[in-house]
Structure 1
Amino acid sequence: MATRSKSTLHIRCGQDIEQALQEAGMEGDFLDFSDPYCQGPVRGIAHADFLVERSAFIASAYGIDPAEVTARQSRRYEALRHAHDYDTITLWFEHDHFDQLILAHVLNHFADLSSLPEIDLVCVDDYPVLPRFTGLGQLGPSDLKAVWEKRVRVTQDHIRLGKEVWCALTMATPNMLATIAHAGTPAVPPMAGAIDRHLDELPSSRHGLGLTETLSLRILAEKGVISAGAMFSQLMLRYETRPYLGDLMYWHELDRLVRGGAAEVVTAGKTYAQNMLRLTELGERILTAGEDWLDYMPEPRFVGGVEIAPSKPHWRRFPKGNIKLVE
C-alpha cells in the first residue's frame, strides 16, 4: 500500500486522528481546519467580514480569548488557501453535520481553483467500535488504514455538491438546503442526512425548541437533578443519533436554556461540567408545548445563515420535515 508522499496534505476538522495517522505510516502534513458551522452565524458575506463574525462568535460562545481565536482562524483559512500547493490531498470526515458542513466548505473552496491536485475523500458513517461509532477519533492506526483503503477520488460531482451546499447554508432562508437534503446527495451520501439534522436545529413548530434544546430538556425531565457533564454524556450515548457537539459547544447550548429560564443551576461546580442542573416549571411547560420557547429565548441565534429572532418572522420546522416562515 503506497502511503508515503513528500507532498501530501491530510485535512481533518480536528486533531483527533493526527497522531494515529503518523503511527499508521500515513506521512504528510496535517491541517486541522475546524470552524463549527453547525453553530452561530454562517452568512454569505465578504470573506474578511465572515472571518471577523465567525471569530467573534467562537470567542464569545466558547469563552476563548478573542485574539487567540482570530489568530487561529486566520492560520486555518490561510492554510486552506494554499492547500492546492500539495500534490495530493486526503480529506478525512465523518457523517455528522459538524463534519459535513465543513466538508462542504472545503469542497467549495476547491471549486474556485482552475486546476486541482489529486484529492481523495475518506467519509465514514459507521465502523464496528463500542459502544457505537461516533467519529474517526475512535479509530486506531490499523482502523484508519482500513478506511483509507476505501477512499474515493474527488470528482467534479463532489465539488459541485460542496458549492451547492455551501451556497445554501449561507442563505438567509433554509429552503434550498431543505431541497438538497430531500433530493439526496449521492456524491457524498452522508451529507443529506447531516443537512437534515442541521435543519432540526430550526425551532420546532410545537414548542420553538431546536432539537438539541429539546433533547436537553428531555434529559432534565427524565433525570431530575444532573450535572452538565452527565447530560453531555447522556446526549452523546443515548439521545443524539448523530453526535456532533464538543463539550464547549454543548455548554453554549445549555447556557442559553439557563439564561432563558427553561433550566436552572442548582449547585455551581468548579467547572461547567460539574454544574448541577434541573428543569424549571417554565422548561416543563415549554417541553409539553404549553409555552413557546421563542418568547423566552434570551437572544437571537443562527442556524447557518438563517437568523432566529423572536420579534421577527422566523422559520420553523413542522412534522415530516416541512419548513415554513411564521409571522
Structure 2
Amino acid sequence: MKLHITNGDCAGEMIKDAKGVEGEVLCWRDLLHDGPLAIDKATHRCNRIEYLQWFLETTGSAEEGSLAQITQDFLARDRVIASLDQFDEIVLWFEHDLYDQLQLLEICHVLLDFAHQLPEISIICIDDHPSVPVFHGLGNLTPDILTELYPQRVPVSRADLKIAGDIWKQLTESTPQSLENIISEEVPGWPFMSRALRRFCCEFPATETGLTLTQTYLLLTLLRAPDELPALEQQLKGLERNDGLPEGKSAEQRYYEILTGPASFRRIFHHLQQLEVDPFMGDLSVKLELERLLNAEIPYVKTTGSGDDPHYSLTPEGAEALQGRRQWHLDNKIDLWRGGIHITNENLWMWDQQDTQFAFIC
C-alpha cells in the first residue's frame, strides 16, 4: 500500500479521485511560514496546535468543534507516521511555493526520525502546468492531470532527506543567520527550496520600513487598483459555468464590479496573489495580515462599511509608510514568530533585502 502526503484537503481529495493512484492520503494542513516552530517533536506539536487555534479565532474562522479538531488532526497524523512500515512507498505531492516547501522540510525531518526502515520515497513537485494559464498550485489541476503526473514521480534519496532535515533544524533555531547561506545557492535535490526560503526571509520585518513583504504588498494593493486580475477572471468564469454566480450576474459583470469598485477583500486577495512571484498564502492568512495592519496602535489600514464585506483603504500613516516616512516598529509593537525566532521590539531581527542579510536591531 502507498501513502500519499500532500499539502491540504483540496489536493488530497483530487489524489483520492485520480484514477490509478491508490493508497492512503495524508494532508499536512499547516501554514509553517507563521507561528513558532521547534525541533523537539512534542514541543513543536503543542506550538502548532496552540498557534492554529489562535489563528482560527483571530480570523473569525473558529466553528463549533474546529479547535478540538486541530488536536485530533495532529494526533491522527502522528498515528500514520508511526505506522510508516506498513507502506511500500511514500509519494510526496507538493508544489514550489513557500507554504509547500516548508511542509516538505518538516516532513523530511519527521521521516528521518522514523525508528524503522523507511519505504521507498518519491516526489511530484511542480511550479507550472501547460493546461493552467495561471498556476498557483496543485489545487488548480484536476484528478485526470494528477493521474498523468503520477508516473513522473522521481525518487527521494536518504541524502535528499538529510539535506532537508538539516535545513529544518536551522529553521527552528533562535537566530536566523544560517538561512543566509542556504538561500545563496541552489539546494541539491530540492530545486525550489532556495527560492522559497528567500521569500521566507522577506517575511521578517524589512530594515527600511519594519514591514514584512506581505504587509508592503497589502498596502500597495490599496494605493492603486490593478489594471487586470486574470486569476480572478478565470475563477469567475468557472463559477459561471457551474451556476455559482448571483442570479442575473455574468462573470464579466462581476469581474468588472470587483476590479473597478472599492477595495474589497476579494480584490485585495487576488491583487496580492498577482504581486507575488510565487503566491503561498490562503485567504485566511491574508486576512490575518490585514488584521495586523488594521488593529495596531497606529493602524496603516482602515475599513469602511459594515457587514461581512467591508472596504479597505490606507490611513494617512499607511500612505506615509509607503513613501518611506514611517517605520512600523517605531509606531507599533511587533509580535511575530518566524521559525524558532520570536520577533519583538526587544528581539528585533530584520531582513535587509538589498544586502540579502539579517540585522539585529538593538
Name the TM-score, length of structure 2 as normaliser.
Answer: 0.82
Q: Check whether the contact 2:201–2:351 (CA below 8 A) recurs between aligned residues.
A: no
Q: Which residue of 1 aligns with 2:337?
A: 302
1:71 matched to 2:72: yes
Residues 1:38 and 2:33 are matched in the alignment: yes
Indicate if the aligned counterparts of 1:257 and 1:297 stay in contact, CA closer than 8 A: no
**2 CA distance for matches of 1:81 and 1:281?**
54
Amino acid at match of 1:119: I
Residue 95 in structure 1 maps to residue 89 in structure 2: no
CA contact (8 A) 2:121 2:156 kept: yes
Q: Deviations over 1:184-237 (max 9, x none)?
A: 21201011111111111011111011111110000011139411121111112x
The structural deviation recorded for 1:299 is 4.3
Which of these residues, 283, 301, 311, is aligned with residue 247 of structure 1?
283
Distance 1:81 1:34 in 2: 18
Aligned length: 316
Larger Rg: 2
Contact 1:56 1:66 in 2 (8 A): no
- Report the counterpart of residue 116 of structure 1 in structure 2: 118
Deviations 1:160-184 (A, max 9, x none): 1221111011111111122112132
Alpha-carbon distance, 1:298 to partner: 4.5
The 10-residue stretch of structure 1 (227-236 or 77-86) with the greater mean CA deviation from structure 2: 77-86
Write the distance in 1 (CA, Å) between the matches of 2:348 and 2:211.
Answer: 16
* Preserved contact between residue 269 and residue 276 of structure 1 (Cα < 8 Å): no
* Paired residues for 1:50-65 under 5 Å: 50-63=44-57, 64=62, 65=66
What amino acid maps onto 1:246 in structure 2?
A: G
Q: Is 1:233 the counterpart of 2:275 in the alignment?
A: no
Q: 1:129 to 1:178 in 2, by over 3 A?
A: farther
Give the aligned residue type for 2:180.
Answer: A
Amino acid at match of 1:316: W
Which SS does the other structure have where 1:102 is aligned? helix
Deviates more, 1:80-89 or 1:9-18: 80-89
RMSD: 1.8
Native 8 Å contact 2:12 2:26 kept in 1: no
State how far apart, in whole Å, the 2-side matches of 1:117 and 1:101 are: 22
Task: Decide which of 211, 224, 232 is 1:209's aligned counterpart.
Answer: 211
> Deviations for 1:86-115, whole angstroms, at most 9, x for unmatched residues?
111100010011100111111111212341
CA contact (8 A) 1:89 1:119 kept: yes
Instruction: Supply the AA of the counterpart residue of 1:108.
Output: H
Aligned-partner Cα distance in 2 for 1:221–1:49:
41
Q: 1:4 is matched with which residue?
A: none
- Identical pairs, percent: 29
Preserved CA contact (<8 Å) 2:206 2:350: no
1:23 aligns with: 18
Greater displacement, 182-191 / 310-319: 310-319
Structure 2 counterpart of 1:18, which letter? Answer: G
Check if 1:311 corresponds to 2:346.
yes
- Which residue is equivalent to 2:300? 262
Matching of residues 170-209 of structure 1 within 5 Å: 170-209=172-211
Report the secondary structure of 2:76's partner residue.
helix
Match of 2:253 in 1: none
- Which has the higher mean CA deviation after the structures are superposed, 19-28 or 103-112? 19-28
| 1-structure distance, mates of 2:144, 2:26 | 21
8 A contact 1:42–1:305 mirrored in 2: yes
Question: Secondary structure at the residue paired with 1:183?
Answer: coil
Q: One-letter code of the match for 1:47?
A: K
Equivalent position amino acid for 2:165 in 1: K
Gaps of 5+ in 2: 226-260
Structure 1 residues 98-140: Cα deviation after superposition (integer angstroms, max 9, x where no partner): 1001111111112123411011111112212443211011112
Whether the 8 Å CA contact 1:202–1:317 is kept in 2: the answer is: no
Partner Cα distance (2:145, 2:135) in 1:
12
* AA matched with 1:304: G
Ranges of 4+ aligned residues in structure 1 off by more than 6 Å: none
Q: Give the TM-score normalised by the residue count of structure 1.
A: 0.91
Task: Check whether the contact 2:210–2:350 (CA below 8 A) recurs between aligned residues.
Answer: no
Q: Distance in 1 between the 2:136 and 2:324 partners?
A: 31
CA distance in 2, matches of 1:230, 1:84: 47
Paired AA for residue 155 in structure 1? S
> Which whole-Å CA distance do the structure 1 matches of 2:69 and 2:86 have between them?
26
| Alpha-carbon distance in structure 1 between the residues aligned to 2:314 and 2:187 | 39
